[in-house]
Structure 1
Amino acid sequence: MQASQWPEKLSFVRAVTDDTSPGACDFLAFYTGLSKGRVKDAMNKGAVWLQRKGSGRIRLRKASFRLRKEDILELHYDPKLLSMDPPIASCLQDYKHYSVWFKPANLLSQGTDFGDHGSLLRQAETYFNPRREAFLVHRLDREAAGLMMVAHSKKAAGRLSILFSEHRVVKRYRVEVLGMPENNEGAISQPLDGKTAVTRYRIISRNPEADTSTLEVEIETGRLHQIRRHLACIGHPVMGDPRYGAGNKDGKPLRLTACELAWRCPFTGNERVSSLKNEEDGDRGPGLRQGVKA
């Protein structure tokens, strides 16, 4: 099939029927009609998947990879996504087993079937020399900026995931909202998606001229878009939120920054704190304060 016959965005899945198949790139180019250059670019950016009998589904990046009978090869091709130039994350602290990063706004935490070059995890994988594995242990919305931890082994991912699931990591956010909440501090406990959800906030500053307030927010649970949904439901949506609230869409980015993480290291037992320096750092870049207590 010729490339011109494909829609601009496509998902292709095909099983290998014999052991004489060519390399993965040649195989995909033949059956999709895409040029080898486009296929190689898609492979490099994580848009090709391999499922081999007895093994899990993995991203396949090696163009010359030899296929076997019964291999299942997938290509999820979105030229618009593949042509994106993603913002670059910054590694702020390396603890060997895991690291702390500043994720800029509009960078995904992890990739999708259509690629991972625009994700924090892929940038973390390729940042170190020699390269390290990278595992997601918590999430931050694509539109939001701020601090994230990345694990570099399954052991570290397991230990850190337990900390997050048991609410032993303090996560603080700085959020600019529309309007001025009546109370200087409060808690929102409206269930989300049928599950318990608790968001606590306190007012840091008010701007009567702009009719906005800046809040420090902590969450006891981690539901999808929890902060954004909870603040919108009390009539004070996050400024710049493209999805939730009314009157808060001013053409500027989402004003939600993950500004502090505090935890006890599961390897050393030390208490650690990573905190952005001031309220402007979420827009300007990754200024950081580090704290360690034995």
Structure 2
Amino acid sequence: MKLELSHTVTEISANASTILTTLSGLPRQRIKDAMAKGAVSLKRGKHTKRIRRINTVVKPGDILQLNYDDSVLALKPPVIECLEDRRSYSVWFKPAGIMSQGNQFGDHMSILRIIEKQNDNKREVFPVHRLDRETSGLIIVAHSKKMAATLSSLFQTQQIEKSYQAIVLGKTEETGTIDRLLDKKNAITHFKRLNFNEETNNSLIDIRLETGRTHQIRRHCDSIGHPIMGDPRYGTGNKNQQGLQLVAYKLTFRCPIKHQQVTFELPEPFAQNT
């Protein structure tokens, strides 16, 4: 069942869950579950935020929004692994299928919310960069607004080197650079072939980005005739049951806390996906 509902509050000192239960026809327990998982938002003036407490009081003029999808709400978030905790930021492994941030249908399957829950909501979490939902790999999370701004600036000025590995269709060149516009913007991807499997007709490649366009690696690999195996969106002849074979396996940068070069790396990038 999928339901999208928007309601401008006219009631005085009304309860959000009561209003949504009445308007949606859903049981109160389902509204409570939807609120806890981030599927209900409240717009007051120019500000919109998720509301999670079932007894939240709303005011006339507030706009309540419910985006209910029982197939999304039924998903169970996994326990994820923290590779490094430096107090003001931490490095985690994001499994494929987990969002970097939530959407209007909830955030319980986003890495930020999962981390909050694993830390019993005792630490703030702020996004620093993103990985596609289908992509697994290392992701950095900040635990203060100041650190979030610092790390975001490092990403924007390309002071954090991101390395990926992918299994692609066919035999690629030994090395190459893909310099093709994406969305009318410059986009540059460098790759090196690590191995070619004749039996499966797949190449394992190491990838480094100079830019960060939407789905850059996936689109660039497809553009040269070597789509990433398991990509549900790009390429032909590359579909499988294992999912997208792309892993963000290494991050290298100057730590803003210890002021020295650090590298966080998955020793076996595809071992986490098996």
TM-score by length of 2: 0.96
The one-letter code of the counterpart of 2:236 is A
Q: 2:180 aligns with which of 174, 180, 190?
A: 190
Are positions 1:201 and 2:194 aligned together?
no
Are positions 1:154 and 2:154 aligned together?
no
Q: 1:132 aligns with which of 123, 126, 129?
A: 123
Q: 2:221 aligns with which of 231, 236, 261?
A: 231
How far residue 253 of structure 1 moved from its aligned partner, in angstroms, is 1.4
Q: What is the aligned partner in structure 1 of residue 5 from structure 2?
A: 12
CA offset digits 1:56-111 (Å, max 9, x no partner)? 21100010111122221111111111111233321111111111000011111110
Are positions 1:93 and 2:54 aligned together?
no
Paired residues for 1:1-294 under 5 Å: 8-21=1-14, 23-53=15-45, 56-129=47-120, 131-181=122-172, 183-284=173-274
SS in 2 for 1:150: strand
CA offset digits 1:221-270 (Å, max 9, x no partner)? 11111101101110111011111111111332111011001111223312
How far residue 130 of structure 1 moved from its aligned partner, in angstroms, is 5.5
Distance 1:235 1:16 in 2: 53
The one-letter code of the counterpart of 2:119 is F
SS in 1 for 2:58: coil
Distance 2:8 2:270 in 1: 51
The one-letter code of the counterpart of 2:92 is W
Distance 2:199 2:224 in 1: 21
Point out 4+ residue stretches in structure 1 off by more than 6 angstroms: none
Contact 2:81 2:93 in 1 (8 A): yes
Distance 2:80 2:104 in 1: 21
Contact 1:87 1:106 in 2 (8 A): no
Distance 2:104 2:121 in 1: 26
Change (3 A) 1:224 1:251: same
TM-score by length of 1: 0.89
Residue ranges of structure 2 left out of the alignment (5+ in a row): none
Distance 1:280 1:227 in 2: 17
- In the comparison of the two structures, how many residue pairs are matched? 274
The one-letter code of the counterpart of 1:20 is S
The one-letter code of the counterpart of 1:19 is I
The one-letter code of the counterpart of 1:179 is G
Greater fraction strand? 2
Distance 2:79 2:191 in 1: 30
SS in 2 for 1:38: helix
Identity of aligned residues (%): 45
CA offset digits 1:190-220 (Å, max 9, x no partner)? 0101111010000111111211110010111
